Amino acid sequence: MGKLTLVFLLLFHYTSLSSQSIVSTHTYKKIDTVVLYFKIFKPKSFDPKREYSTVVLFHGGGFNSRYSNQFERHSKYFNSRNFIAITPVYRIKKMHQSTPLESCDDAKDLLDYIYSNAERYNINKDRIFVGGGSAGGLLALSTTFWKVKNNVVKGLILYNPIVDTGLNSALSKRRKGKYNTDISPIHHINKNHPPTIIFHGSLDEMEPIQKIRKYQEMVQEIGITCDVIEYPGQGHSFFNSQEFFIKTSKEVDKFLSSLGYIVN
């Protein structure tokens, strides 16, 4: 089979997912007049008598903007693998004059909510994965250390995540020297860190690939799997294109299969 034919077949598979999901919206948190919700995507073959592996996907936007549909396509991919997918919104600066710490609070509360209500949503509490892109990648990472009561995350799926918010980090430089190590993933790596896969462009300026490699090294030093898939010539947010959606989804398949959560 030629490469062009294979690309078209993969494109057909992943773009035909739109009819493979049952979607509903639910509230997980209220702060005064602010209502925070999530969309839950269930496989078309959803069986209300069983529990499902579940992935939570946090959108990016630099803690400033809301891109609530960023992971809709990915959610439908996970449905095709018999996973439930959840895409939450959280407080952002443009809408709520909030800080990244408050966004992390929302991510924590979302995880606590779905864990406490797992039976209601047919979620297998022992098979919860978390992912996200850019700032959403940081939020995903924060669910493993920020005010954590229970270590419920079994794996992390990260798309060009921000891993450092400390002094002299790329994020700090963009924010005129403001920094906070309290929510900085690279400052909070611990033995409860789950197996991780990171997709990153070699030309990413928002979080340089060198910092991602450093993060990988630090996680691996404590004996935890941390795979980094580098895409040459790609900058930040590359994964949003159809081409790299397909390529990264194939790698997610391999990652989850290696952990025993997908049987091909």
Nearest Cα residue to 199 out of 104, 74, 69: 74
Nearest Cα residue to 53 out of 74, 18, 30, 81: 81
Mean pLDDT confidence for 33-49:
97
Question: What confidence tens digit (pLDDT) does each residue in 176-230 have?
Answer: 888 899 999 999 999 999 999 999 999 999 999 999 999 999 999 999 999 999 9
Q: How far is CA 22 from CA 72, 84, 172, in A?
A: 12, 10, 40
In a domain, 7, yes or no: no
- CA pseudo-torsion sign 213, 219, 223, 225: negative
What CA–CA distance (Å, rounded) separates 84 from 40?
Answer: 7
Asked whether residue 20 carries a pLDDT value surpassing 70, the answer given is yes
Confidence band of 4 (pLDDT split at 50, 70, 90):
very low
Q: Side chain identity at 145, as an amino acid letter?
A: F
Nearest Cα residue to 130 out of 176, 174, 161: 161
Confidence at residue 264, expressed as pLDDT on a 0 to 100 scale: 55
In a domain, 13, yes or no: no
Question: What confidence tens digit (pLDDT) does each residue in 228-250 have?
Answer: 999 999 999 999 999 999 999 99
Q: Which residue has the higher pLDDT, 13 or 241?
A: 241
In a domain, 135, yes or no: yes
Percent of the chain with pLDDT over 90: 86
The boundaries of the domain holding residue 169 are 28-258
Look at the chain and report how many structural domains it folds into.
1
In a domain, 264, yes or no: no
Cβ neighbors of 146 (< 8 A, separation 6 or more) are 104, 105, 107, 108, 182, 183, 188
In a domain, 235, yes or no: yes
In a domain, 17, yes or no: no
| Mean pLDDT of the chain, nearest integer | 92
In a domain, 263, yes or no: no
Confidence at residue 263, expressed as pLDDT on a 0 to 100 scale: 63
Cα pseudo-dihedral 169, 137, 74, 194, rounded to 10: 130
Q: Are strands 153-159 and 196-201 parallel, antiparallel or unpaired?
A: parallel
Confidence at residue 32, expressed as pLDDT on a 0 to 100 scale: 92
In a domain, 88, yes or no: yes
What CA–CA distance (Å, rounded) separates 79 from 21?
Answer: 6
Read off the CATH number of the domain in which 122 is found: 3.40.50.1820
